[in-house]
Amino acid sequence: MTSTEISDGIIGYNSPFTVLPDPQIAAKIASSYKLASREYKPENSTVKIRDGVVFGKGSILIGGPCSVETEEQLAATVKGVKKCGAHMFRGGAFKPRTSPYSFQGLGIEGLKLMKKVSEEFNIPFVSEIMSEQHLPDFDRYVDMIQIGSRNMQNFDLLIKVAKLGKPILLKRGLSATLEEFLCAAEYILAAGNDQLVLCERGIRTYEQSTRNILDLNSLTLVKELSHIPIIADPSHAAGRSDIILPLSMGALAAGADGLMVEVHFRPEDALCDGRQSLTLGQFDELCKSIALRK
Ligand code: PEP
Ligand code: MN
């Protein structure tokens, strides 16, 4: 059968569902996502970045700047978060900014800087891809590829990134329902990549006092409906640094498999998201609170 044929309601030139490993089990699952569901796979999935950094086995903590700015900024921040106990760092080289006049990131130079700093401090990192033209660079430099909120339903990008076979961090879309989120995850699984971690980063509501609302309802439900690990990003949910600690504790209590938090060695000088970035001192406090909880 070619993928343009219609079979059992499955239509399309690029349908990844033609590779479903067990179509008979999948057919019995009522939801629009199959491989992502707990019915398909009852046991929790794990995603290994390297020895000692495994999502789905204890809390994984990711800290780092919104965007890579300079080697000094990156090295100081990464050295600091590692000392506090972070398992990975984050950093954006390609930034999806609302205004085209805002800092857009350092591009491939940023990826190279992260690779260098990652080797220097022996800590893996995650970074966001925005365009398929950068697939070879992400394949070469990055340990885990982030697909950001704005691209959660860029299905072509999801499939192409999935096919690299590298670990993926898929963030929930700004206004995506839980079902849409899990369907986006399904694209990645159906394209043959099960090295997937989800990230709840807050959704838009009428409330204006914070940037978004961290949706702990959905986070809890993901643990029920799916086997895929899910972490929380309280930084983009809050948009302000003063409530990151309680949001983090709440997310972990709700079952999150880890946290991704924005940290900057000098938040007041950050080129992007300084208002929501923790200082290294605040990040240390967060790490100590998490350790006490264990
Ligand atoms: C980010 O993590 O850098 C980011 C842009 O987040 P989001 O896609 O959740 O807005
Ligand atoms: Mn940011």
Q: Do 121 and 74 touch, CB atoms closer than 8 A?
A: no
Q: CA–CA separation, 115 vs 141, rounded Å?
A: 6
Return the residue matching tokens 């369907």: 183
Q: CA–CA separation, 36 vs 54, rounded Å?
A: 19
pLDDT per position as a tens digit, 62-88:
999 999 999 999 999 999 999 999 999
Closest ligand 1 atom, residue 150 Cα: 8
Tell me, in angstroms, the distance from the centre of ligand 2 to residue 94's CA: 11
Q: Give the pLDDT of residue 5.
A: 42
Of 259, 257, 268, nearest to 81 by C-alpha is: 259
Q: Give the pLDDT of residue 23.
A: 75
Q: Is the CB of 171 under 6 A from ligand 1?
A: yes
156, two tokens: 């072509």
Q: Is the CB of 264 under 6 A from ligand 1?
A: no
pLDDT per position as a tens digit, 211-225:
999 999 999 999 999
Tell me, in angstroms, the distance from the centre of ligand 2 to residue 236's CA: 6
Closest ligand 1 atom, residue 201 Cα: 9
Q: Is the CB of 172 under 6 A from ligand 1?
A: no
Q: Whose CA is nearest to atom 9 of ligand 1?
A: 149
Tell me, in angstroms, the distance from the centre of ligand 2 to residue 271's CA: 10
Q: Whose CA is nearest to atom 10 of ligand 1?
A: 149
Tell me, in angstroms, the distance from the centre of ligand 1 to residue 235's CA: 9
Listed in order, strand segments (DSSP E) in the chain are 47-50, 53-55, 60-64, 88-90, 125-129, 144-147, 168-171, 196-200, 230-232, 258-262
Q: Give the pLDDT of residue 14.
A: 59
Q: CA–CA separation, 103 vs 151, rounded Å?
A: 19
Residues of the chain with pLDDT under 70: 1-21, 293-294
Q: Do 189 and 158 touch, CB atoms closer than 8 A?
A: no
169, two tokens: 């961090």
Q: Give the pLDDT of residue 3.
A: 43
Closest ligand 1 atom, residue 149 Cα: 8
Contacts of 206 (CB under 8 A, 6+ apart): none
Q: Give the pLDDT of residue 19.
A: 57
Predicted TM-score (pTM) of the model is 0.94
Q: CA–CA separation, 34 vs 36, rounded Å?
A: 5
